[in-house]
Amino acid sequence: MTQLLDVARGAYAKLPYATRSRIGTVLRLLPARYRYGSTYSSWRATLKRTRGNAEAIRTMQDQARVAMVREAFAKSPFYRTSLSKIFGAGFDPASVLDPEVWSQIPLLSPESVSDIRDALCTRPSSELDSGSTGGTSGKPVRFFLDRGRSPIEYAFVFDAWSRVGYREGDWRAVFRGVEVLESAVEKDAALAELRFSIFNLTDDLMARFRREIEENRIVYLHGYPSAIGMFASWLLRSGHGPMPKIRAVMLMGERLYPNYRESIEKAFPNAELVPFFGLSEKCAFAVEVAGKPDTYDFEPLYGFTELLDQNDRPVTVPGQRGRLVSTGLLFKGMPFIRYDTRDEATLVEAPSAENGWRLRVERIVPRRGHEFLVSRDGKLIPILALLVFGKEMDDIREFQFVQERPGEALIRVVRPKDGPEPDVQPFIDLVSRKSNGLVTITCEFVDALPTSPRAKRRFIDQRLDVSAIENAMNLQPDAVARDGVE
């Protein structure tokens, strides 16, 4: 039977809301093993069976790492060339289990992926899905992803959520950057999601969200920390909170800053927080350790994740900072082997049999900073919610937002060295639609973007006093949250 989550990524998600509503009501009646498919059920069983079994985890991880390198060496033009150059044409992929051999594999940089993505693939890109990072560094990383990945991804996500009692089919209120109806609220029965628009979080709209949560007896919240943090702050300052019936808040997509955490914990006093760290490239997945804020365990069956110092050597001393480098173990269409994520973290505990081969780190600082545009009516719009890349941005390689007035922003686009200037209008229209017309974008083509003394590009040249708005909403991140690579 067709797996629902794959359909949701394709045709199902593109259906008119009324059609999806009717289909979703029927699909919801099916048992989870049919809605999510056999691959999902198999992975849920595997994660349950191996929990606490360090020997089984290590064996599976080793086998998956060798299998990934073998596939890449046999079928990817890039990896075939690079690995042959280092190890010779007779390279044995099983040898990568030797740490000395593994360390000789060059790191894969985000900057190079977009340019060599076809050569990285192990099969024609026409058989894969296009993907992209949010691009908040000013240059999004573009890549390809396996089709049929959703059931596997959700097996890991639902396994993490299960620790707070969440089960397949439980309804959750979703605060993410998805387009919903003009009413700003949408139900998807098949996925058990009550979706809220987060592009214009007015007091009236948040009051409606609260009513919808109460009327639908929702006990799980899921979404961006910034959006849920704004909702939590509104609950507290408006007198409509706290909401003690909320059991858990599942957070993703952004770093959870201390002040967001404080507001969320006060607004939902009986809820457990389950933040997780993931990558659009699908090569690493980590979940916050229960009772240890800002400390994360990496899932060893999802990816092989390393923490390297500035000389690309493993960080072995707890308390030292390093860069997260990860090798995906699940999706072979475009292998990410020793991918330098550019994210930083502090080592808490290196992988070992005692901890189930889980790398434990704290203070992950994502490569993309937390940024806002200011809407026409003075509200903050999380930039991550606007940057859902598709065909609208296919020809745009490097860009930067500049904002001087609320509701207006300039996008600077680097013109190609060869060929015509790209058509930016589809993206401008997308931003206008997703922000409910509260941000108007104009375009300027430039030869290069300005850089900092360290050659970093600011994704948003924000000239408005966003900090004043954040302070007014009790959302100002602390100084620690501003550290990092980007």
Predicted confidence (pLDDT) per residue in 385-424, tens digit: 676 545 555 566 667 889 999 999 998 988 876 778 888 8
- For the chain, the average pLDDT equals 84
What letter represents residue 143's amino acid? F
- The set of residues, in sequence order, having a beta carbon less than 8 Å from that of 459 and lying 6+ positions away, is 135, 136, 137, 138, 368, 369, 371, 383, 400, 401, 486
pLDDT tens digits, 29-75: 667 666 778 899 999 999 999 999 999 999 999 999 999 999 999 99
CB 478 within 8 A of CB 258: yes
> Taking 50 as the threshold, does the pLDDT of residue 480 lie above it?
no
Return d(Cα 315, Cα 322) in angstroms, integer.
Answer: 6
> Taking 80 as the threshold, does the pLDDT of residue 472 lie above it?
no
Tell me the average pLDDT across 265-292: 95
pLDDT given for residue 387 in this prediction? 61
Give me the percent of the chain exceeding a pLDDT of 70: 79
pLDDT given for residue 432 in this prediction? 80
pLDDT given for residue 478 in this prediction? 33
**DSSP strands (E only) in 379-439:** 380-382, 399-405, 408-414
pLDDT tens digits, 99-131: 999 999 999 999 899 899 999 999 999 999 998
pLDDT given for residue 451 in this prediction? 58
> Taking 50 as the threshold, does the pLDDT of residue 456 lie above it?
no
Tell me the average pLDDT across 417-439: 81
For residues 138 and 262, the model is more confident at 262
The DSSP annotation for 46-79 comes to HHHHHTT-HHHHHHHHHHHHHHHHHHHHHH-HHH
pLDDT confidence band for 186 (50 / 70 / 90): confident
Q: 107-111, 453-457, 478-482: lowest mean pLDDT where?
A: 478-482
Tell me the average pLDDT across 445-449: 83
> Taking 70 as the threshold, does the pLDDT of residue 20 lie above it?
no
pLDDT given for residue 35 in this prediction? 72
- Whether residue 293 is preceded by a cis peptide bond, meaning omega within 30 degrees of 0, is no
Candidates 24, 32, 29; CA nearest to 7 is: 24
Residue 323 pairs in a beta bridge with 308, 344
pLDDT confidence band for 1 (50 / 70 / 90): very low
Q: 131-135, 179-183, 429-433, 440-444: lowest mean pLDDT where?
A: 179-183
Instruction: Give φ, ψ of 115 to 5 degrees.
Output: -80, -25
Highest mean pLDDT among 28-32, 75-79, 373-377: 75-79
Q: Please report the domains of the chain, with CATH numbers, ordered by start residue.
A: 150-277 (3.40.50), 372-482 (3.30.300)
pLDDT given for residue 483 in this prediction? 27
Q: 82-86, 211-215, 282-286, 371-375: lowest mean pLDDT where?
A: 371-375
> Taking 70 as the threshold, does the pLDDT of residue 233 lie above it?
yes
Alpha-carbon Rg for the chain, nearest whole angstrom, is: 22
Q: 8-12, 21-25, 110-114: lowest mean pLDDT where?
A: 8-12
Return d(Cα 87, Cα 84) in angstroms, integer.
Answer: 5
CB 412 within 8 A of CB 402: yes
> Taking 80 as the threshold, does the pLDDT of residue 192 lie above it?
yes
pTM greater than 0.85 (yes/no): no
